Amino acid sequence: MDIVLMIVYATLVLGFLVFIHEGGHYLASRAFGVRVTEFMLGLPGPSIGFTRGGTKFGVTPILLGGYAKVCGMEPGEMSPHLEKVLASLYRRGTANMEDVAADCGISDDDAYAALEELTEWGSVLGPTKKDQYNTYRTPALRPTKKQVKAARAAGLPDPASYGAGEPRPVDDPRAFFESEYRQQYRSLPFWKRAVILVAGVAVNLLFAVALFVVLFSVIGVDMQNPTTGVVQHVVVGPLQAVQVGFSYIGLVVQMIAGLFNPATAADTVSNSSSIIGIAVMSKDAFDMGPVYVIQFVASISVSLGIMNLLPIPPLDGGRLVVEVFQKISRRTVSMRALNYLSMAGMALFVCFFLIMANQDIQRIISGAGFGA
């Protein structure tokens, strides 16, 4: 039963913190006009939910975190055929890859690459499991109340509605393509892309600071006077609580920075915990009561946020390093290079996980404590 509770508590804590982390990416993307086709609670898979403003909100069966599907984040150069492929498909509504290739006078492979990129943009719906061939469709379009109101105020007819797979007129292919491109992550200047990448980390850190304010300024904590040994219940002002929160963030930054110092890397890893240790600590926190739960969730939120800033793909920090490199060198990192970097990063994380998991198992056997 204890093991089940460990899994449940760890899943709740980590799932919620990953979900709000992705929420940071979603909010920043939408603030900059970038299309986000999905914002889900749970890992990618079958989902239920509703669509609003072009984004599908919902829940998937695997409630381990969440994800925001930000459009236009695919690496590498854009296909040179996007404009004419987009126009061809919209005029047809529904078309196979070969039909689009014939319309545009390009090879099937080029048409496929362009259609897949447009699918990532949210401009096109990709093939379904029921399709016998590589069939693509236009997405459904329903004008919002605001758009209808604006059209009526201007004396114009109501904007047209289209179902998925229905053909639509494309009078100016270039203008249409540019309107789609402006809704993509890759269309943004460097600083806006950087903000989107660090927004998830910012949400985790701000959430942790808010929990510190609740803990120290609303609930209060029991502290022992080092001189008299008397335990007192202490409540501090919000500003002091914020300072405590940022001081803790600074300590975590120093600890994680120790990974890059050969003299301290081994100690940093030995004082860290894997998901096994987090599961044990989560149950201990829930057993001890709400105050300890708040403290534990705040500490994990900080750790999750700072870890995501490590300059290792596919973490946010790794993506940010790639963006900085592209900005300085004025060169685009290819999909192949990014895949190699991501595989190297994943291999490094697997090594860290195995080392820390072994430590956690040894701690459980020996009855030693866990580090956060």
Does residue 6 carry a pLDDT above 50?
yes
Closest Cα partner for 346 from 311, 313, 310?
A: 313
Mean pLDDT in the chain?
88
Instruction: Please give the Cα distance from 87 to 93 (Å, whole number).
Output: 10
pLDDT, tens digit, 9 for 90 and up, residues 245-268: 999 999 999 888 887 777 777 777
Count of beta carbons in the 10 Å neighbourhood of residue 229: 7
Extract the tokens encoding 347: 């291999």
Q: Residue 292: how many CA atoms within 13 Å on its side-chain side? A: 9
How confident is the model at residue 344, as a pLDDT? 86
259: which DSSP letter?
Answer: G
Residues with Cβ < 8 Å from 61, sequence gap 6 or more? 42, 45, 46
Element (H, E) at 148: helix 145-153
Question: Is the bond preceding residue 314 a cis peptide, omega within 30 degrees?
Answer: yes
How confident is the model at residue 184, as a pLDDT? 97
Percent of the chain with pLDDT over 70: 98
How confident is the model at residue 163, as a pLDDT? 87
Does residue 354 carry a pLDDT above 90?
no
φ, ψ dihedrals at 84, nearest 5°: -75, -30
Q: Concatenated DSSP letters for 180-231?
A: HHTTSGGGS-HHHHHHHHHHHHHHHHHHHHHHHHIIIIII-EEEE-TTT--E
Percent of the chain with pLDDT over 90: 50
Alpha carbon dihedral 274, 278, 284, 290, in 10-degree steps, equals 160
How confident is the model at residue 345, as a pLDDT? 82
Task: Answer whether 61's CB lies under 8 Å from 30's CB.
Answer: no
How confident is the model at residue 1, as a pLDDT? 62
pLDDT, tens digit, 9 for 90 and up, residues 68-95: 999 999 888 899 999 999 999 999 999 9
Instruction: Please give the Cα distance from 359 to 372 (Å, whole number).
Output: 13
Q: How confident is the model at residue 372 (pLDDT cuts 50, 70, 90)?
A: very low
* Buried/exposed 276-293: b ≥16 CB within 10 Å, e otherwise: bbbbbbbbebbeeeeeeb
Count of beta carbons in the 10 Å neighbourhood of residue 3: 10
- Identify each DSSP E strand in 213-311 by its residue range: 221-224, 231-234
Extract the tokens encoding 292: 């300890």
* Buried/exposed 43-55: b ≥16 CB within 10 Å, e otherwise: eeeeeeeeeeebb
Predicted TM-score of the model (pTM): 0.88
Residue pointed to by tokens 């992705």? 22
Does residue 205 carry a pLDDT above 60?
yes
pLDDT, tens digit, 9 for 90 and up, residues 274-328: 788 888 888 889 999 899 999 999 999 999 999 999 888 888 999 999 899 888 9
Instruction: Please give the Cα distance from 5 to 347 (Å, whole number).
Output: 30
How confident is the model at residue 368, as a pLDDT? 62
pLDDT, tens digit, 9 for 90 and up, residues 17-28: 999 999 999 999
